[in-house]
Structure 1
C-alpha cells in the first residue's frame, strides 16, 4: 500500500476576506478572480474545506479519503493513535491588505467544551512586509482583566496593544490565550492546529458592503485570555544553509528553517508526515523514482511512510513542518 504514496500537492482553497488583497496572486502565483484574497488554505482537514490532491495517481482524492485509506502510513503511528482520521495541522498563506481583527484563540480544553474542536496554537513566518508594517502581539504593559475590559469599553484597546514592526523572515509563536492580529501590508505563512475557532474582540469599527459590523465574541473571549503570558513570542533561529534549523517546537508541531543550495539526502526519523512550504525560490523533492517541483508559494506533503528522499535546489527557502 505504501508504494502508492509520493510527495503530495493539494489544490489551494482560496478565501475572499474583507481585509484581503492581491499579493497571494501577484507574489505567490495563486490563480483566482477573487477581489480580496485573504487566505490560501494549503493543507486543510477543516469540515467543509477539505484539501483535494492535485498531482500524481491520487489526484482528485480528498485529504480525508487519504487518511481513511492510508492511516498511519500517511501521518505516522503516534499521530494516528491520537488523531485517527483527522489531520492535525492547518497550513495557510495569509495576505493582509488591511489590519485583521484583534483576536485570540481558546485552548484545547475550552475549544473542546464549547465547540467540539481543537484549540488553535499557531505560528507566523513573514514572507513579505510593506515599509512600516506591524504585527500586533500581546499587550504593551502588564494586564489585568479589569484594565482590559475598561479599555474595551472605552474603545481605547489599541493603546494597550503591542505593535511590532516586522520584516521578511520575522517569526512569531502565538500561543492560545494571547491577543494578536496581522497588520496591514503583511504576508505570512501560518502553521496551526486544525481549528477554525477565533474570538474576535475588536474589528476597527469597519462595516461590510451592507453597513453591518462583523460579529464580536467578547463574552467568550474573556475566559480564553491568558493575561499573565511572558513577552516571549518573537522567535530567534539560525539560518545555517543545507541544515534543518529549529524555529518552533511545541506539543502541536515543530517547524524548521531550511535554506537549500545543493542536493540534500534526507531521512524521516519523526514517525510523522513532513510538510514543506516553499517561501522563496524553488526545489525538487525526489523519492522512489518520483520527483515533484515545489515553487515559491507552494506546499507539499510527504507521507510518513516515505523515509528516504532528496531535496535539490540552487537557492530555495523551505519551512519544514512535522508533528
Structure 2
C-alpha cells in the first residue's frame, strides 16, 4: 500500500447483447470479436464483473482490491462509511443496434429485499443517434395499474409509452420505477447505481438464435412501477466552456458537463472520487506524479485522495461524476 494513488484506467468489460451492434468498436475503438456488442462496462464492481486496472503500478489489481487497500482514500471517507468495500457506481457505454426491451428498475428497498442489491437509478447522455432514433421514457398519458395491465395483456403497450426523438447531447434522468427503453440507433453513456437488476416487461416478441424468448419479469415489475411519476425526465443543462455545468444531482451521483478548450486547474473538494467519461475529443489529466490521456469512449477514475490536478484539451467534452 505504498503506491501513491493516481488517475486509474480500467479494462472495459464488453457485453454481447441480442440488441447490440458494432459502434462501440467502430466509433469508440473497443477492440473485440463479439458479434453484437451492446455494452462496455467501464467501471464495475458488480459481482462476477469487477474491473481490472490497466495502467500504472496498480495494473492487474481489481477495483475490489483497491477498495480493500485504500478505502476512503479511493472513494472518500463519507462514501466508505456508507458503502464500505462496495463501489457505488456502474459506468457504461451502450450501443443499441435494435430496440432494448421495455423495462424498469426497482428502488433500494425492493432490490435489497428481493436481490440483496442496490436499486438502479440511472442517467443517459446521448453520444450519437441515427436519424429518427428514439428513446422510450415514461408514459404519454395518465396510467393506472389496471390500464397498464390491460395494454400489456393486449400487446398494445407501445400505445401508452412516451417516445422521444433524440440527438447528440440529449440527457435523461431515469429514476427507479420509471418505464424506459433505449431505441435502435442510439449510442449513449450511462451512469447508474451499482446494480444489474432489470425487470423486463416487453421484449418486442423477439427470439434468440435457438428460438427462445428472453425472460420477462412482469410479476416482479408491477410492484416496482411508480405510476404517479411526473414528466420531468429530460435534463436541461448549460454547455458553458471550461466550467462544470451541472446536469443531474441526486442522492446517488452528481454529473456535470464540461466542454474543455484550454487547461484548467481543478480541485477536488467533494470527499469523493471523480470519474471522467470522455464523450468527445482527447483530454490530458495531469497530477504531481502522473499524466494520463483519455480519448472519446474512455473513462478515468480519480481517487478521492487526489486533491489537485489539471485537465487540458483544445476541444473535448467530458462527463464529470462524483458521489
**TM-score bin, normalised by smaller chain:** over 0.9
Counterpart in the other structure of 1:247: 247
Cα distance in 1 for residues equivalent to 2:290 and 2:237: 32
Residue aligning to 1:76 = 76
Q: Which residue of 2 aligns with 1:142?
A: 142
Match of 1:132 in 2: 132
**Structure 1 unmatched runs, 5+:** none
What is the aligned-residue RMSD (CA, Å)?
A: 0.7
Please name the residue that 1:220 is paired with: 220
1:32-90 residue CA offsets vs partner (Å, 9 max, x unmatched): 01010000000000000000000001000000000000000000000000000000000
CA offsets, 1:90-139, max 9 Å, x none?
A: 00000000000000000000000000000000000000000000000000
Whole-Å separation in 2 of the counterparts to 1:71 and 1:289: 21
Whether the 8 Å contact between 1:2 and 1:73 is mirrored in structure 2 is: no
Counterparts of 1:119-198 in structure 2, within 5 Å, are 119-198=119-198
Residues 149-184 of structure 1: per-residue CA shift (max 9 Å, x gap): 000000000000000000000000000000000000
Please state if 1:293 is matched with 2:293.
yes
Spell out the pairing of 1:255-294 with structure 2 (5 A cutoff). Answer: 255-294=255-294
Structure 2 residue 57 is matched with structure 1 residue 57: yes
Tell me, in whole angstroms, the C-alpha distance in 2 between the residues paired with 1:3 and 1:245: 33
Shift of 1:2: 7.4
In 2, are the aligned partners of 1:261 and 1:316 still within 8 Å (CA)? yes
Cα distance, 1:289 vs structure 2: 2.7
Superposition TM-score, scaled by structure 1 size: 0.99
Instruction: Report the equivalent of 1:96.
Output: 96
Q: TM-score, normalised by structure 2?
A: 0.99
For 1:47, the equivalent position in structure 2 comes to: 47
Give per-residue Cα distances to partners, 1:199-233, cap 9 Å, x unaligned: 00000000000100000000000000000000000
Contact 2:6 2:289 in 1 (8 A): no
Corresponding residue for residue 229 of structure 1: 229
Structure 2 CA distance for partners of 1:2 and 1:257, relative to 1, 3 Å: farther
Whether the aligned pair in 2 keeps the contact of 1:136 and 1:162 (CA below 8 Å) is yes
**1:288 deviation in Å?**
1.3
In the TM superposition, residue 4 of structure 1 has moved relative to its aligned partner by 1.8
- Structure 2: runs of 5 or more not aligned: none
Q: Give the C-alpha shift of residue 148 in structure 1.
A: 0.1
